[in-house]
Amino acid sequence: MILNLKWVRQFLKPKILVKYAAAIAVIVFCALCLSGGGAGADLERLDTKASRAFHAGDFDAARSLCVQFLQKTEQNYGAFHPNTVAALNNLALVMHAQGKFSQAIALLEQALRVNKTILDNEDPRLAVSYANLAFANEKNGNAAKAALLYKQALTIAEISMPPDHPYQQFIKERLVRLASAPSSAHDETDYKVKDV
């Protein structure tokens, strides 16, 4: 929200402040509702707890917290919002760590669908979404699908990122790896959902 400082100074005068107190309260309430109100702090706490559980290897707790995080994010921001995509990616990461590959891929497909709806076709976050799904498919042994998704990610990354961007390099390395040894999809590389 952009505020005109002259307007703010006018409201700081006592007579005007009292006269318009109800209107100010409504404006502040609406701004809080539109921004998610106090939800931001609650979501941040949930995200932190989920991250700690994940890094401690407590994947059941991490999954439960990620599900709560996703539900609250959708309640506060809706299904078609970048925060919801982040929540889907977090839950997919946990599912993949638990060996629930098809569920992780389904969540990443949902995240990609949302990103395709809310982002411009040349947005770097769309490249990341394609690459996340490609990486999950690669780790699940579906090298052909992974290669197609990496190529889509690279097409967008080449338009939206500088040539030396680490993420663009990551995508190129994965494509080379798939082309040279398709069976390398089962290597020991940790699964990490990437973010720009």
Cβ atoms of 122 and 159 closer than 8 Å: yes
- Output the pLDDT for position 40: 81
Counting every residue written for the chain, the total comes to 196
Residue 149 lies in a domain: yes
Residue 33 lies in a domain: no
Region 28-49 average pLDDT: 65
Cβ atoms of 194 and 128 closer than 8 Å: yes
Residue 11 lies in a domain: no
- Output the pLDDT for position 163: 92
Indicate if 133 and 90 belong to the same structural domain: no
- Output the pLDDT for position 111: 98
67 band by pLDDT with thresholds 50, 70 and 90: very high
Report the C-alpha gap between 15 and 18 in whole angstroms.
Answer: 5
Q: Is the dihedral of CA 67, 64, 189, 48 positive or negative?
A: positive
Indicate if 94 and 129 belong to the same structural domain: no
Residue 99 lies in a domain: yes
Indicate if 71 and 128 belong to the same structural domain: no
The structure's pTM equals 0.73
Indicate if 132 and 182 belong to the same structural domain: yes
Q: Domain end: 79, 103, 127, which one? A: 103
Residue 46 lies in a domain: yes
Nearest CA to 171 out of 119, 90, 196, 121 is that of 196
Region 129-158 average pLDDT: 96
Residue 148 lies in a domain: yes
Query: Does the pLDDT value for residue 51 go beyond 60?
Result: yes
Query: Does the pLDDT value for residue 84 go beyond 90?
Result: yes
Q: Pick the more confident residue, 40 or 195.
A: 40
Task: Name the token pair of 144.
Answer: 């052909």
Cβ atoms of 138 and 167 closer than 8 Å: no
Query: Does the pLDDT value for residue 9 go beyond 50?
Result: no
Cβ atoms of 76 and 39 closer than 8 Å: yes
- Output the pLDDT for position 183: 56
* Model confidence pLDDT, tens digit, residues 152-191: 999 999 999 999 999 999 999 999 999 996 454 444 444 4
Where is average pLDDT lowest: 19-23, 69-73, 152-156? Answer: 19-23
- Output the pLDDT for position 181: 63
Indicate if 94 and 151 belong to the same structural domain: no
Residue 10 lies in a domain: no
Indicate if 80 and 56 belong to the same structural domain: yes
Cα atoms found within 13 Å of the Cα of residue 61, Cβ hemisphere only: 13
* Model confidence pLDDT, tens digit, residues 92-133: 999 999 999 999 999 999 999 999 999 999 999 999 999 999
Is 80 in a helix, a strand, or coil? coil
Structural domains in the chain (count): 2
Query: Does the pLDDT value for residue 29 go beyond 90?
Result: no
Structural element, H or E, at residue 77? helix 59-77
Cβ atoms of 185 and 146 closer than 8 Å: yes
Residue 1 lies in a domain: no
- Output the pLDDT for position 38: 56
140 band by pLDDT with thresholds 50, 70 and 90: very high
Report the C-alpha gap between 75 and 68 in whole angstroms.
Answer: 10
* Residue-number span of the structural domain to which 181 is assigned: 119-187
Cβ atoms of 118 and 81 closer than 8 Å: yes
Indicate if 77 and 137 belong to the same structural domain: no
Query: Helices 59-77 and 82-97 sit at what angle, rounded to 10 degrees?
Result: 160
Indicate if 78 and 132 belong to the same structural domain: no
How many other C-beta atoms can be found within 10 angstroms of the C-beta atom of residue 138?
Answer: 26
